[in-house]
Amino acid sequence: MILHVEQFRYGHDNLGYLVFGRSEAMAVDGGAWQEILDFTGRHRLALLYVTHTHRHHDHLTGSAELLEKSGARLLGFEDLQDGSTITLDGEPVRVYRTPGHSIDSVCFHAGRYLLSGDTLFTGTIGNCFSGNLRAFYESIRRIMALPEDTVVFPGHDYRALAVAFARSLEPGNRDLDAYMGGHEPDCVRSLLRDELRVNPYLRFNDPVIIGMLKDRGLPVDTEWERWQSLMAIEE
């Protein structure tokens, strides 16, 4: 049995999710709480858990309503230990702690699907509000090691802005045209293999990116230096 992911847009550009199997479900960043409840009702799903990719306000909104109306259990950060699993209809959802954007950022890995929150967007990454660039770098490296057919579901839809910035760094990258052409606002997602081709924050070992950093007089001798150099460039 395969777990499924349904995406819900709320606010200006936030994206929330329902991960579900045959009869059990988990809400992640449930700002679209009414739509989530409507979906679970139509599909006769029991909402077992409500959780978040991190505790920024725009990702917590809607949780109180979901908990009150469904009787689901809240999974807080203390419940989301790195490497632990959440089970839905006998299928595992793996938890990865990915500090960087915030100290409490997590990703959820269900089959081929990665709910990446504000750690990894389509075409870019989140701001390092935690102040810990090293932790963010390690989190991105961890995601990069996943299978290339992993489907990335981000916490916001920033693709247009992200592609414009990527073009400013790498104007000769022809993969950006196809990447932007494949954008579906009704279901924002990408394959990890495509992120590796277009997302500058995953391309710190690419010769073109290294050359661009050199031209700007930024350090490039080690992978860690290249990551810091990329993060120092203002979008």
Sequential DSSP letters for 151-190: EEEESB--HHHHHHHHHHH-TT-THHHHHHHT--TTS--E
pLDDT in tens, the chain (235 residues): 699 999 999 999 999 999 999 999 999 999 999 999 999 999 999 999 999 999 999 999 999 999 999 999 999 999 999 999 999 999 999 999 999 999 999 999 999 999 999 999 999 999 999 999 999 999 999 999 999 999 999 999 999 999 999 999 999 999 999 999 888 888 999 999 999 999 999 999 999 999 999 999 999 999 999 999 999 997 6
Say how far residue 141 (Cα) sits from the centre of its chain.
14
Q: Is 50:66 a contact under the CB 8 Å cutoff? A: yes
Q: What is the CATH topology of the domain spanning 4-159? A: Metallo-beta-lactamase; Chain A (3.60.15)
In angstroms, the CA 4 to CA 20 distance is 5
- Determine the 3-state secondary structure of 95 from DSSP: strand
Distance of CA 216 to the CA centre of its chain: 29
Q: Are strands 73-74 and 46-51 parallel, antiparallel or unpaired?
A: parallel
Given this model, what pLDDT does residue 1 score? Answer: 65
Distance, in Å, from the CA atom of 166 to the CA atom of 162, rounded to the nearest integer, reads 6
**What is the spatial distance between Cα 187 and Cα 199, in angstroms, rounded to a whole number?**
19
The reported pTM is: 0.96
pLDDT of residue 183: 83
DSSP code, position 150: P
Residue 161: phi and psi, rounded to 5, are: -65, -40
The residue among 41, 3, 43, 47 whose CA lies nearest residue 27 is: 47
Q: How does DSSP classify residue 72?
A: P
| Angle (nearest 5°) at CA 58 between 17 and 179 | 55
- Strand, coil or helix: 82: coil
Answer for the pair 8, 36: CB distance below 8 angstroms, yes or no. Answer: yes
pLDDT for residue 147: 98
For residue 86, list its beta bridge partners.
93
What's the Cα-to-Cα distance from 157 to each of 41, 109, 210, rounded to whole Å? 27, 19, 27
Q: What pLDDT, on a 0 to 100 scale, did the predictor assign at position 235?
A: 61
What is the spatial distance between Cα 153 and Cα 6, in angstroms, rounded to a whole number? 10
| Domain ranges within the chain, ordered by starting residue | 4-159
Residue 178 is predicted with a pLDDT of 92
